[in-house]
Amino acid sequence: MDALDIFASAGLWAAVLRIATPLIFGTLGALICERAGVLNLGIEGIMTFGAMIGWMTVYQGGDLWLGLLAAALGGAAFGLLHALLTVTLGLSQHVTGLGITLFASSLTYFIFRLSVPVSGTPPTIVPFQVIHIPVLSDLPFLGEAVFAQTAPTYLAVALAIVIAWGLARTPLGLAVRIVGENPHAAEAQGIDPIRLRIGAVVFGSALMGMGGAFLTLAAFNSFFPTMVQGRGWVCIALVVFASWRPERALLGALLFALFDAYQLRLQHIVGKAVPYQLFLMIPYLMSIVALLVMARRARVPQALMQPFRRGER
């Protein structure tokens, strides 16, 4: 198999969907926060906490879906904290977000080490299993590539479609977009910008937690504190790449996942002739190039990172 033959492999495209799933959850969460005017740099810590608390719930005897719910609730709790500090009190969104990341990551490690004894091999759980959709999973190529995934992957794609429709076609979506563009105009129309921003940050952070939980409940079967590995920051970049549009966010997550899945397979072809670190750089370098191309045409929400105070203009 040469470098181009990799693209004809159904296994590559199946891996693309798996790798993209936590990015889809995280990017959608960050996008909703930012469309409402709030930058949430706590995403890295929220995903780490979601990965841990989801795994811990199942490890302690809970159901896999209960673990996913626990991750969403954990993410929502950190989102509420972030919203109270930035939306209600008007504190710096940059500083607060980074503080949330440090707090959530440290709390994750503390709880994990308190609950699980230190050992050479981390404990494991039984993760989500691949669901083969009748008839569709039997299709040549597409069946293996698209219709043989775990339930959270199907959920992530469905959420991207629903959120794209909701932001564009529903009164709630319109309200979120108005609050992110001009909260004072939204208030004049009877919308409460503070309440809506808090709700958007809480919901977006819940999605971030679910993105982290996918890593421990589906992609792998155990938890280690560094497993998120910068995916949260990638999600922040993907929001800009997507121009704050959910359908483009889905495309961006798939594109990054394609670069990542491709470099893993390319390593096996090239072997040790090229240092593997160069291959690990490929998805990030290609994402930077794509970001530079798309960012010039991106339209930032006008009220992003601007605190709202009643009576001020």
Please report where in the chains the tokens 């970049």 appear, as a residue: 237
User: What SS3 state is found at 76?
Assistant: helix
What CA–CA distances, in Å, run from 248 to 53, 102, 162, 254, 277?
Answer: 30, 29, 13, 10, 29
- The residue among 177, 178, 198, 174 whose CA lies nearest residue 187 is 178
> Which residue ranges make up each domain of the chain?
5-115+132-294
**307: closest CA among 101, 145, 90?**
90
User: How far apart, in whole angstroms, are the C-alpha atoms of residue 300 and residue 64?
Assistant: 37
pLDDT digits (tens, 9 = 90+) for 26-65: 999 999 999 999 999 999 999 999 999 999 999 999 999 9
Return d(Cα 125, Cα 116) in angstroms, integer. Answer: 13
Asked whether 153 and 274 are in contact (CB, 8 A), the reply is no
pLDDT greater than 60 at residue 81? yes
pLDDT tens-digit profile of 85-137? 999 999 999 999 999 999 999 999 999 988 887 766 778 999 999 998 888 88
CATH of 5-115+132-294, one of 1.10.3470.10, 3.40.1190.20, 3.40.50.1860, 1.10.10.60: 1.10.3470.10
What is the per-residue pLDDT across 188-226, written as a single tens digit (0 to 9) for each?
899 999 999 999 999 999 999 999 999 999 999 999 888
Residue 267 has pLDDT above 90, yes or no: no
DSSP letter assigned to residue 73: H
| C-alpha span between 253 and 242 (Å, rounded) | 9
Contact 208, 30 (CB under 8 A): yes
* 293's tokens: 């191309």
Residue 134 amino acid letter = P
The answer to whether residues 197 and 37 touch, using CB atoms and an 8 Å cutoff, is: yes
